[in-house]
């Protein structure tokens, strides 16, 4: 027979468990060729079907039917250095907490025969996390294992207003899932294992515009709406209190809206330069409401800050068959040390990217890129313990193909 913990106990457990993901940052690379330059200039339009993931208005740049697909691996390496701790939490550093997380995206832009109208469909992972700390580390009462995924499917409609201006919209349906494991302190007893999980679906959208100054210079702007996510799931507890203890939970959080403004300029027939500036509205996260069905709830006050995104890169045609690209991106810090949590150990971010693609035929292009991200030292001051990450980095390896059908 399943047992139910008192509502107050469950709420306290959730307060220690669930205030990480509000600071979760949107991904900026989706596996396409522009990812090899940190997606610099991508909101101004690219020449692959994946362009609609960056800006729906750029669908008008695609002629005929095109299908894009990519697969990637996110390889995270994290190692925490404990500076101060108490006997309550010990001094375990958590070991190498990074994991390998798969990713994928696809897009299809099709020729509907409508004059000035373009349409498409896309599916992409927009945010995610995967961490696995040792069970006895100092932050075990916040997290020992974390897995988060946010992905969205969208249908794109774009319209060419003039020869130079296009606008577009992508209504989206998102799916998000969360699994988080942690330890719960029980006075006079050994820690017990707890697991919080849940998932949600909902709606959002992206709108954008692209303006061509001439055949070699264009600008684009895109706005991604926020996602209001409610993880309707369960808290399960196992330990010497007895197995099978559980309660239904509700965790509400928001993935913040963002804006990307991009420029692409062709220096000549071989060299193109790309730039992006952006804004992510994380300041709108005043709190996250955590509740236990039938057991009350409590808001977690947050102090996240808006972040700003900058990227610059180039693309260069080596031969008629080979193109290369490279770029760098910088995102400002989202949270201070006393608000940062080990579920999302991000500081300011610097990304270094490089990629290439090969024109196999007139109808098929294949390629890939590598991305190295420095996630900063991410200092944490959690009260009972503090420290920083001596290793905090991520590699992304991606391969893709684009077919002209």
Averaged pLDDT of the chain: 86
With 50 as the cut, is the pLDDT of residue 69 above it?
Answer: yes
The confidence score (pLDDT) of residue 5 equals: 40
Domain assignment present for 2? no
**Which residues are CB-neighbours of 88 under 8 A, at least 6 positions away?**
185, 384
Residues 279-293 have pLDDT tens digits of 999 887 655 555 555
What string of H, E and C letters represents the secondary structure of 337-369? CCCCCCCCCCCCEEEEEEEEEEECCCCEEEEEE
Q: How confident is the model at residue 17 (pLDDT cuts 50, 70, 90)?
A: very low
Domain assignment present for 123? yes
Question: Coil, strand or helix: which one is 59?
Answer: helix
Q: Read off φ and ψ for residue 19, nearest 5 degrees.
A: -100, 25
Domain count, the chain: 1
Lowest mean pLDDT among 24-28, 123-127, 267-271, 343-347: 24-28
Specify whether the CB–CB gap between 287 and 245 falls below 8 A: no
Residues 218-257 have pLDDT tens digits of 999 999 999 988 887 777 777 665 566 676 777 777 788 9
∠ CA 247-253-254, rounded to 5°: 160
The confidence score (pLDDT) of residue 287 equals: 56
Residue 271 sits in which domain range?
7-404
Domain assignment present for 124? yes
With 90 as the cut, is the pLDDT of residue 344 above it?
Answer: no
Domain assignment present for 265? yes
The confidence score (pLDDT) of residue 300 equals: 55
Name the more confident of 238 and 5.
238
The confidence score (pLDDT) of residue 217 equals: 97
Q: What is the mean pLDDT of residues 316-326?
A: 97
With 60 as the cut, is the pLDDT of residue 14 above it?
Answer: no
C-alpha dihedral sign at 35, 37, 42, 45: negative
Residues 73-112 have pLDDT tens digits of 989 999 999 999 998 889 999 999 998 888 899 999 998 8
Q: With the CA atoms of 90, 95, 97 and 100 taken in that order, what torsion angle do they form, in degrees rounded to the nearest 10?
A: -160
Q: How confident is the model at residue 351 (pLDDT cuts 50, 70, 90)?
A: very high
CATH number of the domain residue 83 falls in: 2.40.160.60
With 50 as the cut, is the pLDDT of residue 24 above it?
Answer: no
With 50 as the cut, is the pLDDT of residue 166 above it?
Answer: yes
User: Which DSSP helix (H) or strand (E) runs through 150?
Assistant: strand 145-160
Question: Coil, strand or helix: which one is 50?
Answer: coil
């Amino acid at each position: 027979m399943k047992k139910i913990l008192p509502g107050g106990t469950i709420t306290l457990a959730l307060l220690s468990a669930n205030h990480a993901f509000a600071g979760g940052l949107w991904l900026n690379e989706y596996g396409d060729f522009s990812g090899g330059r940190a997606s610099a200039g991508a909101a101004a339009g690219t020449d692959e079907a994946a362009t609609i993931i960056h800006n729906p208005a750029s669908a008008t740049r695609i002629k005929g039917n095109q299908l894009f697909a990519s697969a990637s691996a996110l390889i995270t390496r994290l190692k925490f250095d404990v500076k101060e701790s108490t006997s309550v939490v010990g001094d375990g550093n958590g070991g190498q907490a990074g994991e390998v997380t798969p990713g994928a995206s696809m897009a299809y832009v099709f020729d509907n025969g409508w004059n000035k109208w373009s349409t498409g469909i896309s599916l992409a992972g927009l945010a995610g996390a995967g961490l696995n700390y040792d069970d006895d580390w100092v932050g075990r009462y916040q997290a020992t294992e974390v897995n988060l995924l946010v992905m969205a499917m969208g249908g794109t409609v774009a319209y060419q207003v003039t020869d130079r201006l296009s606008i577009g919209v992508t209504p989206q349906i998102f799916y998000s899932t969360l699994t988080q494991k942690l330890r719960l302190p029980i006075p006079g007893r050994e820690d017990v294992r707890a697991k919080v999980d849940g998932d949600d679906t909902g709606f959002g959208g992206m709108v954008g515009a692209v303006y061509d100054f001439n055949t070699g210079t264009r600008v684009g702007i895109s706005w991604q709406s926020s996602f209001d996510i409610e993880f309707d799931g369960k808290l399960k507890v196992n330990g010497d209190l007895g197995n099978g203890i559980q309660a239904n939970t509700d965790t509400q959080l928001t993935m913040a809206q963002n804006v990307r403004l991009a420029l692409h300029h062709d220096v000549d027939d071989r060299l193109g330069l790309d730039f992006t500036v952006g804004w992510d509205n994380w300041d709108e996260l005043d709190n996250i409401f955590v509740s236990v069905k039938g057991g009350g709830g409590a808001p977690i006050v947050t102090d996240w800050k808006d972040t700003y995104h900058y990227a610059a890169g180039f693309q260069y045609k080596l031969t008629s068959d080979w193109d290369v690209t490279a770029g760098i991106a910088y995102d400002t810090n989202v949270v201070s040390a006393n608000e940062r949590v080990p579920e999302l150990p991000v500081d300011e971010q610097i990304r270094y990217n490089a990629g290439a693609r090969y024109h196999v035929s007139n109808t098929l292009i294949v390629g890939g890129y590598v991305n190295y991200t420095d996630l900063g030292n991410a200092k944490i001051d959690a009260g009972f313990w503090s420290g920083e990450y001596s290793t905090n980095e991520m590699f992304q390896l991606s391969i893709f193909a684009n077919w002209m059908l």
